Amino acid sequence: MKPRSGRAPGRFTKNCAICHQIDGKGAIVGPQLKGISKRGVDRVIEDILDPNRNVDPSFRYSTIILKDNKLITGLQRKTDGQAITFTDTTGKEVTVRADQIKKRIESSNSLMPNNFGEVIPPADFNDLVAYLLSK
């Protein structure tokens, strides 16, 4: 499988790099994609279209309700004393004090959106998959 055009890296940048990294480009929120081609085409497509099927526990998100009723949704990244840092869907880190948390809801789902099959046109999706399989 080969990308249709030289625009395939742009498909990654536009759709994936906010959370994933390949060749040092992109963010470190979700799993890094080095060696993704070893997964094969079926698994890569499954991971993109159904990201909640096989979620590593370290990539399951939490919804935090603070005492002021502000909501934070993200992956817990670190704890430093009373400070807990989460990374949200935009890659932004948010740090809160543990004593400000009213409720924490753990999800069994991935932070990755599950609608890429709807938002990426088929030809662009094919280019993206081909690009990932070339890595």
Residue 114, classed as helix, strand or coil, is coil
Tens of pLDDT, residues 4-30: 555 667 888 888 998 899 988 888 888
User: Is residue 2 domain-resident?
Assistant: no
Q: What is the pLDDT of residues 28-39, one digit of tens each?
A: 888 889 999 999
CB atoms within 10 A of CB 71: 9
In total, how many domains does the chain have? 2
> Residue 101 belongs to what H/E stretch?
strand 101-110
Range of the domain at 129: 8-51+114-133
Q: Can you tell me the distance from the alpha carbon of 57 to that of 43, in angstroms, rounded to the nearest whole number?
A: 18
What CATH number did the domain enclosing 106 receive? 2.30.30.100
Q: How far apart are CA 83 and CA 80, in angstroms?
A: 5
Spatial distance between the Cα atoms of 41 and 24, rounded to a whole number of angstroms: 22
The answer to the question of residue 90 being in a domain is yes
Q: What pTM, to 2 d.p., does this model score?
A: 0.78
